[in-house]
Amino acid sequence: MNNLKQTLTRHLREIMIRKLFAFFAVLSVLLLGLIVLFLFREGLPLFKEIPVSRFLLGSAWYPTYDPPEYGIWPLIVGSLIVTMFSCLIAVPFGILSAIYISEIAPARIREILKSVIELLAGLPSVVLGFFGMVVLAPWLQETFDLPTGLNIVNASLMLAVMAIPTISSISEDALYAVPREFKEASYALGATKYETIIKVAVPAAFSGISTAVILGMARAIGETMVVLMVAGGAAAIPRGIFDSVRPMTASIAAEMGEAPFRSGHYHALFATGIVLFLITLAFNLIADQLSAKFKKEGCGTL
C-alpha cells in the first residue's frame, strides 16, 4: 500500500513538473510573439509613406528634414561592417582558446581560463564602451593621426571582446562533447595529440563550432551600447576602416527618445528594428541549418 502511494505521489509530481515546464515554454513563446507583433505593428505603417526599396537602399538618413529622408542603407552597411571586422578578430581567438581549454591546457589552467572567459562575458557593455571611449579612442587618434578615434576599428575591437566569450564557450562545449573513443582510436592509429585535435576533434565538433560563430556574429550585430558610444555616429557609407559609422542599433537607441510618438520618424525607427530582427533571425536559422547539416554529415561519416 505504501509503495503504491509513493508511486502515485511520484507520478503526480512528475505530471505537475511537466505541466509547469510546458506553461513556461508556452509563456515564453507567447511573450516573444507579442514583442514581434508590436514591432511589426509600429514599423509597417512607414511603408504607406515610402516604398520598401527606398527605405532599404536609400543613402540618406535625415528624419528631421522637410521632407524627411529615411534611407537606412548606410546604417545597414555600418552594422555589417563592424560585425564583419569584429568576427575576423573574435573567431580565431574564440576557437583557438576553446581548443586550448578543452584539449591542451592542464586542469588548473583550464579552470582559471574558463573563469576569466565567464568574467569577460559578464562585463556590462557600457563598461566596454566607456573603455573604448576613454582609452582606446585617444590611443587610435594619436597613433594613426586620425581626426577621431571613434570609428570602425574601435567598435570592431570592442564587439570582438564581447563576442569572444560566446564563441569560446559554445565551441569548448562542442569539443568537450566529442566522444573519447574517437580520440583514443586516433591515438591507437599513431596520430599525435595535435593531429588528433586537427583531424578528429575539430571536425567532429564542427557543428557546434559553426553554431558558436554564427551566434557570436548575431551577438555582435545586435549590440547597442558599445556601438552607440564608440562607432562615431556618422550615418554615411564608410570609405575606410578608420571612418565613423552608425549601426542600426545605435541609431534606434540614440533617436527613439527624440522621435514624436507615432510620427514618421518613430515608425522609421521601428522599421529599422524589423530589419535588424530579420537579420538576427537569419543568423539563427543559418546556425540551426549548419548544426543540423554537420551533425548529419558527421553521423554519415562515422
Kindly state whether residues 74 and 18 are assigned to the same domain.
Answer: no
Instruction: Tell me the C-alpha to C-alpha distance, in Å, between residue 285 and each of 44, 218, 279.
Output: 23, 11, 10
Q: Indicate the number of domains in the chain.
A: 2
- Report yes or no: 39 and 254 within 8 Å, Cβ to Cβ: no
Kindly state whether residues 89 and 126 are assigned to the same domain.
Answer: yes
Give the domain CATH number at 290: 1.10.3720.10
Query: How confident is the model over 133-142, as pLDDT tens digits?
Result: 999 999 999 9
Kindly state whether residues 253 and 132 are assigned to the same domain.
Answer: yes
In angstroms, the CA 40 to CA 11 distance is 44
Q: Which of 24, 153, 141 is nearest to 84 (CA)?
A: 153
Kindly state whether residues 194 and 79 are assigned to the same domain.
Answer: yes
Query: How confident is the model over 153-207, as pLDDT tens digits?
Result: 999 999 999 999 989 988 988 888 888 888 888 888 888 888 888 888 888 888 8
Kindly state whether residues 59 and 182 are assigned to the same domain.
Answer: yes
Domain encompassing residue 168 = 52-301
For residue 57, what are the contacts with CB-CB under 8 A and spacing of at least 6?
Answer: 71, 73
Kindly state whether residues 38 and 96 are assigned to the same domain.
Answer: no
In angstroms, the CA 152 to CA 82 distance is 6
Tally of residues, the chain: 302
Kindly state whether residues 35 and 88 are assigned to the same domain.
Answer: no
Cell 578528429 -> residue = 200
Q: What is the pLDDT of residue 2?
A: 65
Question: Is the confidence at residue 208, as pLDDT, over 90?
Answer: no
Query: How confident is the model over 237-258, as pLDDT tens digits?
Result: 999 889 999 999 999 988 888 8
Q: Which of 128, 152, 127, 124 is nearest to 140 (CA)?
A: 152
Q: What is the pLDDT of residue 302?
A: 46
Residue 232, classed as helix, strand or coil, is strand
Q: What is the pLDDT of residue 30?
A: 95
pTM: 0.85
Q: What is the pLDDT of residue 38?
A: 94
Query: How confident is the model over 255-302, as pLDDT tens digits?
Result: 888 888 888 899 999 999 999 999 888 888 887 777 676 666 554 444
Kindly state whether residues 12 and 135 are assigned to the same domain.
Answer: no
- The percentage of the chain sitting over the pLDDT mark of 90, rounded to a whole number, equals 43
In angstroms, the CA 125 to CA 60 distance is 29
Peptide bond into 67 cis (omega under 30): yes
In angstroms, the CA 136 to CA 264 distance is 37
Instruction: Tell me the C-alpha to C-alpha distance, in Å, between residue 277 and each of 36, 184, 222, 259, 283.
Output: 9, 44, 9, 20, 10
The single-letter code of the amino acid at 173 is D
Kindly state whether residues 147 and 272 are assigned to the same domain.
Answer: yes
Question: Is the confidence at residue 6, as pLDDT, over 80?
Answer: no
Kindly state whether residues 23 and 57 are assigned to the same domain.
Answer: no
In angstroms, the CA 82 to CA 299 distance is 36
Kindly state whether residues 107 and 253 are assigned to the same domain.
Answer: yes
In angstroms, the CA 6 to CA 4 distance is 5
- E-strand ranges in the chain read 61-62, 69-70
Q: What is the pLDDT of residue 26?
A: 94
Kindly state whether residues 209 and 147 are assigned to the same domain.
Answer: yes
Q: What is the pLDDT of residue 110?
A: 87
- The percentage of the chain sitting over the pLDDT mark of 70, rounded to a whole number, equals 95
Q: Which is more confidently placed, 211 or 56?
A: 56
